[in-house]
Amino acid sequence: MFKYLKQLTSLVAMVAVLFTFTTETMAAKKSKTLKNTQKKGFVRCGVSQGLPGFSNADAAGNWTGVDVDVCRAVAAAVLGDANKVKFTPLSAKERFTALTSGEIDILSRNTTWTLSRDADIGLTFVGVNFYDGQGFMVRKSSGITSVNQFKNGISACTNIGTTTELNMRDFFNSKGISYEPVAFEKADEVVAAYDSGRCDTYTTDKSGLAAQRTKMSNPDEHIVLPETISKEPLGPVVRQGDSVWEDIVRWSLNAMIEAEEYGITSANADSMKTSENPAIKRLVGAEGELGAAFGLDNEWSLRIIKQVGNYGESYKRNIADTGILPDRGPNQLWTKGGILYVPPAR
Amino acid sequence: MNFKLKDLGPQLITVIAVVLIFGFFTYNAQINMENRGIDFGYGFLSQESSFDVQFSLIEYDGSHSYFRAYLVGLLNTILVSVIGIIIATIIGVIVGVARLSPNYLINKFAAYYVEFFRNIPLLLQIFFWYFAALRALPLPQDAEAIFGVFFLTIKGLYVPAFIWENFNIFFYSIVAAIIAIIVIRFQAKKLQETQGKQIPVFLIAIGLIFILPLLSFLIGGVSLSFEIPKLKQLAATSFVYDGGLSLPPELIALTLSLSLYTATFIAECVRAGIQGVGKGQKEAAASIGLTPNQVLKLVIMPQALRIIIPPTTNQYLNLTKNSSLAAAIAYPDLVLVFAGTALMQTGKAIEIVSITMFTYLSLSISISILMNWYNKKIAIQEK
Contact A225, A147 (CB under 8 A): yes
B192 with B54, same domain? no
Q: Is the CB of B36 less than 8 angstroms away from the CB of A197?
A: no
Mutate: best of A180, A199, A225, partner B, most B CBs <10 A: A180
pLDDT score recorded for residue B292? 83
Chain B residues inside the 8 Å CB shell of A184: 328-330
Chain A residues inside the 8 Å CB shell of B236: 141-144
B16 with B86, same domain? no
CATH number of A31-131+234-325: 3.40.190.10
Q: What is the DSSP string of B219-281?
A: TS--EEEEE--EEEEEETTEEEEESSEEE-HHHHHHHHHHHHHHHHHHHHHHHHHHHHS-HHH
B266 with B365, same domain? yes
When mean pLDDT is compared across A240-249, A252-261, B207-216, B270-279, the lowest value belongs to B207-216
The minimal CB distance from A142 to the residues B238, B249, B340 is found for B238
pLDDT score recorded for residue A12? 61
By C-alpha distance, which of A210, A75, A88, A203 is closest to A144? A203
The minimal CB distance from A239 to the residues B36, B39, B135 is found for B36
Q: Is the CB of A179 less than 8 angstroms away from the CB of B250?
A: no
Look up the CATH number of the domain holding residue B53.
1.10.3720.10
- Is residue B114 included in any domain, yes or no? yes
Q: Is the CB of B38 less than 8 angstroms away from the CB of A121?
A: yes
Percent of chain B with pLDDT over 70: 98
The helix (run of H) or strand (run of E) holding residue B164 is strand B161-165
pLDDT over threshold 90, residue B6: no
A133 pLDDT tier (thresholds 50, 70, 90): very high
Nearest-neighbour CA in chain B from A10: distance (Å): 43
Chain B residues inside the 8 Å CB shell of A142: 234-238
pLDDT score recorded for residue B237? 79
- Is residue B98 included in any domain, yes or no? yes
Nearest-neighbour CA in chain B from A155: distance (Å): 9
Judged by a CB distance cut-off of 8 A, whether residue B2 touches chain A is no
Domain locations along chain A: 31-131+234-325, 134-230
Nearest-neighbour CA in chain A from B263: distance (Å): 27
Phi, psi of B125 (to 5 degrees): -65, -40
pLDDT tens string B20-52: 998 998 888 888 777 766 778 888 899 998 899
> By CA distance, what is B250's nearest residue in A?
A182
B53 with B22, same domain? no
Chain B residues inside the 8 Å CB shell of A161: 340-341, 343-345
pLDDT score recorded for residue A5? 59
Q: Is the CB of B336 less than 8 angstroms away from the CB of A183?
A: yes
Chain B residues inside the 8 Å CB shell of A96: 344, 347, 349
pLDDT over threshold 60, residue B317: yes
By C-alpha distance, which of B57, B50, B51, B47 is closest to B77? B57
The minimal CB distance from A92 to the residues B37, B135, B344 is found for B344
The minimal CB distance from A160 to the residues B33, B250, B344 is found for B344
pLDDT score recorded for residue B188? 87
Q: Is the CB of A184 less than 8 angstroms away from the CB of B345?
A: no
Chain B residues inside the 8 Å CB shell of A144: 235-236, 238
Mutate: best of A125, A151, A196, A221, partner B, most B CBs <10 A: A196
Of B207-216, B226-235, B329-338, where does the model show the most confidence?
B329-338
Round to whole Å and give the CA distance between A212 and B170.
Answer: 53
B349 with B264, same domain? yes
| Residue B354 lies in domain | 45-135+246-378
Q: Is the CB of B237 less than 8 angstroms away from the CB of A117?
A: no
pLDDT score recorded for residue B1? 52
Following CA atoms A298, A304, A309, A312 in sequence, which dihedral angle do they give, to the nearest 10 degrees? -90
Q: Would A31-131+234-325 and A134-230 be classified into the same CATH topology? A: yes
Of A2-6, A212-216, B285-289, where does the model show the most confidence?
B285-289
Mean pLDDT over B371-376 rounds to 90
Rounded to the nearest 5 degrees, what angle is found at the Cα of B7, between the Cα atoms of B5 and B9?
Answer: 60
Mutate: best of B33, B52, B251, partner A, most A CBs <10 A: B52
Contact A63, A57 (CB under 8 A): yes
- Is residue B82 included in any domain, yes or no? yes
Mean pLDDT of chain A: 88
Nearest-neighbour CA in chain A from B258: distance (Å): 19
pLDDT score recorded for residue A170? 92
pLDDT tens string B95-116: 998 998 889 999 999 999 999 9
Q: Is the CB of B242 less than 8 angstroms away from the CB of A153?
A: yes
B383 pLDDT tier (thresholds 50, 70, 90): low
Would you call A1 helix, strand, or coil by DSSP?
coil
B98 with B201, same domain? no
pLDDT over threshold 90, residue A304: yes
DSSP strand E in B66-108: where?
none
Judged by a CB distance cut-off of 8 A, whether residue B131 touches chain A is yes
Chain B residues inside the 8 Å CB shell of A119: none
Nearest-neighbour CA in chain B from A302: distance (Å): 33
pLDDT score recorded for residue A10? 62
The minimal CB distance from B234 to the residues A184, A197, A200 is found for A200
Q: What is the CATH T-level fold of the domain A134-230, as seen in this structure? A: D-Maltodextrin-Binding Protein; domain 2 (3.40.190)
* Strand pairing class (A106-107; A43-47): parallel
Half-sphere exposure of A167 (CA within 13 A, CB side): 21
Mutate: best of B341, B346, B353, partner A, most A CBs <10 A: B341
pLDDT over threshold 80, residue B328: yes
B210 with B296, same domain? no
Q: Is the CB of B330 less than 8 angstroms away from the CB of A186?
A: no
| Radius of gyration for the alpha carbons in chain A, expressed in angstroms and rounded | 23
pLDDT tens string A14-58: 555 555 544 444 555 578 899 999 999 999 999 998 888 999 998
List C-alpha distances in Å: B63 to A169, B66, B76. Answer: 10, 9, 19
B257 with B115, same domain? yes
pLDDT tens string B118-148: 999 999 999 999 988 877 888 888 877 777 7
- Is residue B163 included in any domain, yes or no? no
Judged by a CB distance cut-off of 8 A, whether residue B41 touches chain A is no
Mean pLDDT over A209-224 rounds to 88
Mean pLDDT over B57-63 rounds to 89
Round to whole Å and give the CA distance between B235 and B233.
Answer: 6
> By CA distance, what is B62's nearest residue in A?
A169
The minimal CB distance from B328 to the residues A97, A189, A197 is found for A189
Judged by a CB distance cut-off of 8 A, whether residue B336 touches chain A is yes
B29 with B84, same domain? no
pLDDT tens string B236-292: 778 888 877 888 999 999 999 999 999 999 999 999 998 998 889 989 998 998 988
Chain B residues inside the 8 Å CB shell of A160: 327, 336, 340-341, 344
The helix (run of H) or strand (run of E) holding residue B120 is none
Say how many domains are in chain B: 3
Q: Is the CB of B238 less than 8 angstroms away from the CB of A198?
A: no
> By CA distance, what is B233's nearest residue in A?
A151
- Is residue B140 included in any domain, yes or no? no
B368 pLDDT tier (thresholds 50, 70, 90): very high
Round to whole Å and give the CA distance between B366 and B269.
Answer: 21
The minimal CB distance from B38 to the residues A100, A142, A180 is found for A100
> By CA distance, what is B40's nearest residue in A?
A121
A327 pLDDT tier (thresholds 50, 70, 90): confident
B19 with B113, same domain? no
Alpha helices in chain A (DSSP H): 2-30, 32-40, 66-79, 95-100, 115-120, 163-175, 187-196, 206-213, 243-261, 278-283, 300-307, 311-315
Q: Is the CB of A197 less than 8 angstroms away from the CB of B38?
A: no
B251 with B118, same domain? yes
Percent of chain A with pLDDT over 90: 59
pLDDT over threshold 60, residue B81: yes
B207 with B277, same domain? no
Name residue B172's amino acid.
Y
Half-sphere exposure of A70 (CA within 13 A, CB side): 32
